[in-house]
């Protein structure tokens, strides 16, 4: 059964996997109907849509995204959990200057039929 500490470690593992595998790793942590809530209101639903957006970000070698979960909770029936924390996104602007954006995120995880927890909803500000 998933504990809050296990869920924190899963979120950390997710971050490490993305550092190596980029968009493919990012999308693989989402459930088939997982969603990303976007600042622009153009929300993404499903792994394919999520992969394509993140591929455009990770295709630039100067772009980086890291995060650190701070808290996790798991439902009494162990089917849902959430993590929240802070992220750091680094890109280059038009003048080739590094720009860092610090933000907060919340991720909702759901136990899947295969026994794995995957992301149902990801929200960043």
What is the pLDDT, as a whole number, of residue 22?
A: 96
Q: Encode pLDDT of 57-95 as tens digits.
A: 999 989 999 999 999 999 999 999 999 999 999 998 888
Give every CB contact of residue 111 below 8 A, 6+ residues apart in sequence. 2, 78, 79, 80, 117
Token representation of residue 105:
């995120």
Check pLDDT > 90 for residue 41.
no
What is the pLDDT, as a whole number, of residue 46?
A: 96
Check pLDDT > 90 for residue 101.
yes
Alpha carbon separation from 35 to 1, 7, 29, 38, 97 (Å, rounded): 24, 19, 11, 9, 31
Contact 119, 99 (CB under 8 A): no
What is the pLDDT, as a whole number, of residue 40?
A: 82
Sign of CA dihedral 122, 19, 14, 68: negative
What is the pLDDT, as a whole number, of residue 42?
A: 86
Alpha carbon separation from 85 to 66, 97, 102, 114, 124 (Å, rounded): 11, 26, 11, 27, 10
Residues 61, 39: Cα–Cα separation, whole Å: 23
**Choice among 22-36, 87-101, 107-121 with the minimum mean pLDDT:** 87-101
What is the pLDDT, as a whole number, of residue 125?
A: 87
CATH class name, domain 4-124: alpha beta
Average pLDDT of the segment spanning 2-10:
98
What is the pLDDT, as a whole number, of residue 39?
A: 85
- The pLDDT mean for the chain works out to 95
């Amino acid at each position: 059964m998933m504990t809050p500490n296990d869920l924190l470690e899963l979120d950390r593992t997710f971050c490490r996997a993305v550092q190596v595998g980029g968009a493919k790793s990012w999308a693989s942590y989402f459930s088939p109907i997982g969603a990303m809530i976007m600042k622009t209101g153009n929300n993404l639903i499903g792994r394919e849509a999520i992969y394509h957006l993140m591929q455009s970000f990770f295709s630039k070698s100067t772009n980086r995204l890291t995060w650190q979960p701070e808290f996790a909770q798991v439902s009494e029936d162990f089917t849902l959990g959430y993590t929240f924390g802070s992220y750091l996104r680094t890109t280059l602007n038009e003048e080739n200057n590094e720009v860092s954006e610090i933000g907060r995120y919340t991720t909702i995880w759901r136990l899947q039929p295969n026994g794995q927890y995957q992301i149902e909803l990801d929200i960043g500000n």
